[in-house]
């Protein structure tokens, strides 16, 4: 290849290496916004009776494992003010924590879905968290979410 053509070829290769990943990323659909692609998380879309019976047909054995399919960067306790927050667990220190008053447990367990919504709500949220007042000039109010389980918070 002639040396004067080399820069053109390099630009073409660079364009391909940049454009292909961007095209692939644009093809991804966020399963948390309407209309959510149900089969991103479910092997079958559950009907109302199946949902009420707790049959969700998740792509992984549990809610936390299903969430980690995409949210592989998440670790239990991450972004929880350096505390080791339980998830996928039915065990907690009952002297310090109570069964949630309104947050959902799944098969008696705290899961990602206990604190996080699985789809975007009409009102603003922070990280799809339930019961969190989005910040004003005083910041984000987490207290209602935390008090649902944490005694004396």
Domain assignment present for residue 16? The answer is no
Q: What's the sign of the alpha-carbon dihedral 125, 126, 127, 131?
A: negative
The tokens of 82 are what? 């350096």
Strands (E) across the chain are located at 133-136, 139-141
For 49-84, how does the pLDDT look when each residue is reduced to its tens digit (9 = 90+)? Answer: 998 888 889 999 888 888 888 876 665 555 544 456
Domain assignment present for residue 9? The answer is no
Residue 141, beta-bridge partner list: 133
Domain assignment present for residue 86? The answer is yes
- Give CA–CA dist 128/133, Å, rounded: 11
Domain assignment present for residue 13? The answer is no
Domain assignment present for residue 22? The answer is no
For 129-150, how does the pLDDT look when each residue is reduced to its tens digit (9 = 90+)? Answer: 888 777 666 667 778 888 888 8
- Residue 75 has a pLDDT of 58
Distances (CA, A) of 20 to 10, 16, 100, 104, 143: 15, 6, 46, 41, 44
Domain assignment present for residue 57? The answer is yes
Q: Is 81 left (phi over 0), alpha (psi -120 to 50) or beta?
A: left
Looking at residue 39, the DSSP 8-state letter turns out to be G
- Residue 49 has a pLDDT of 94
Verify cis geometry, omega within 30 degrees of 0, for the bond prior to 35.
yes
The fraction of the chain above a pLDDT of 90, given in percent, is 6
> Taking residues 32-61, what's their average pLDDT?
86
Looking at residue 41, the DSSP 8-state letter turns out to be T
Domain assignment present for residue 36? The answer is yes
Domain assignment present for residue 26? The answer is no
Looking at the structure of the chain, the number of domains it has is 1
Looking at residue 29, the DSSP 8-state letter turns out to be -
Structural domain range at position 115:
32-147
């Amino acid at each position: 290849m002639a040396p004067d053509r080399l820069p053109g070829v390099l630009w073409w290769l660079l364009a391909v290496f940049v454009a292909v990943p961007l095209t692939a990323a644009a093809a991804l659909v966020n399963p948390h916004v309407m209309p959510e692609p149900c089969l991103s998380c479910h092997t079958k879309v559950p009907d109302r009776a199946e949902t009420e019976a707790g049959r969700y047909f998740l792509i992984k054995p549990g809610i936390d494992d299903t969430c980690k399919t995409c949210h592989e960067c998440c670790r239990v306790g991450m972004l929880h003010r350096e505390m080791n927050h339980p998830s996928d667990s039915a065990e907690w220190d009952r002297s310090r924590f109570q069964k949630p008053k309104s947050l959902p447990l799944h098969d008696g367990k705290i899961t990602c879905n206990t604190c996080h919504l699985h789809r975007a709500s009409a009102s603003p949220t922070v990280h799809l968290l339930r019961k969190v007042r989005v910040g004003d000039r005083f910041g984000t109010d987490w207290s209602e979410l935390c008090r649902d389980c944490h005694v004396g918070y």
